[in-house]
Structure 1
Amino acid sequence: MAMGWKLVVDTADAAAQAEFWAAALEYEVEDPSTLIDQLLAAGHLTDEAVLERDGRRTFRGFAGIRHPDDPFDPTSGVGHGRRILFQDVPEHKTVKNRLHIDIHAQRGGLDALVERLEALGATRVTEIDKGPAGHWWVMLDPERNEFCAS
């Protein structure tokens, strides 16, 4: 049986990164507000561990996104499929990522994809054109993590 997994990305602002990547990938930001309300009511969580974002409660320093077609737990909001978790860490990014995400455009849609990603807060860095081997842009997300749009 295949193992379950999620990609975890270190961040300075997990909630903001989750919002960017959910919009970029057309995913959904996970909503843990039901679980948080239960944990607060039971005294298992303090108000300091929670922040409010877009009218709902989320865990301070953690935010997940999931594919909208994949199953998820309705109480925790955690996806049971294609999922990325963003977690705040104290240190800042200092070197090139060792792992990155590629976002693929529909045929002939690279310019529109890059423009949409820029509108969300991404930055173009380098255009790569390898002819028949591919054409893509190296880009940066709002925290300057590299990714490719092709």
Structure 2
Amino acid sequence: MALHWKLVIDSNDAPALADFWAAALGYEVEDPGALIDHLLAAGHLGEDAVIEHRGRRMFRGFAAIRHPEDPFDATSGIGQGRRLLFQDVPERKDGKNRLHIDVHAGPGGLEALVARLETLGATPVQEVDKGPAGHWWIMRDPEGNEFCAA
């Protein structure tokens, strides 16, 4: 039996990093507003645990994105398929990632993908050309997490 999973990424500004990755991947930022309103009304959550970002109420220190074609819970906004969760941590990133995302170029090709990711805030680090084995760019997201554009 296959298991459900999500990739959790430590961050310093979860909502901003979720915005970047949602735009980069064509995903949707989850909207937990209905769940937050319910928890606030029931007294299970304090206002200090909530922020507003781009007109949405979000849990402080957390933001998630989901694939737009995957199912999600309408009450909580939580995706039930391909999903990335960003959680704020006190320390900054230090050293190389042990796990990274590969973003594959669409019909426009690699150059167009790299240019689009740069306009979203990514930084190209190194172009890698292994001939028949592949050609890609190592890049960094706005918080310095490495990923590949291929």
Spell out the pairing of 1:1-150 with structure 2 (5 A cutoff): 1-107=1-107, 109-150=109-150
SS of 1:96's equivalent? coil
TM-score normalised according to structure 1 size = 0.98
SS of 1:65's equivalent? strand
Give unpaired runs (5+ residues) of structure 1. Answer: none
Q: Distance in 1 between matches of 2:122 and 2:113?
A: 11
- For residues 27-60 of structure 1, what are the alpha-carbon distances to aligned partners after superposition, in whole Å with 9 as ceiling and x for unaligned? 0000000000111111111111000011110000
Cα deviation for residue 106 of structure 1 reads 2.0
Cα deviation for residue 74 of structure 1 reads 0.6
Distance 1:57 1:3, change over 3 A: same
Task: Return structure 1 stretches of 4+ with deviation > 3 angstroms.
Answer: none
Q: Distance in 1 between matches of 2:2 and 2:145?
A: 29
Give unpaired runs (5+ residues) of structure 2. Answer: none
Q: Distance in 2 between matches of 1:74 and 1:139?
A: 34
Count of aligned pairs = 150
Equivalent AA in structure 2 for residue 113 of structure 1: L
Identity value in percent: 73
TM-score normalised according to structure 2 size = 0.98
RMSD: 0.8
Cα deviation for residue 108 of structure 1 reads 5.5
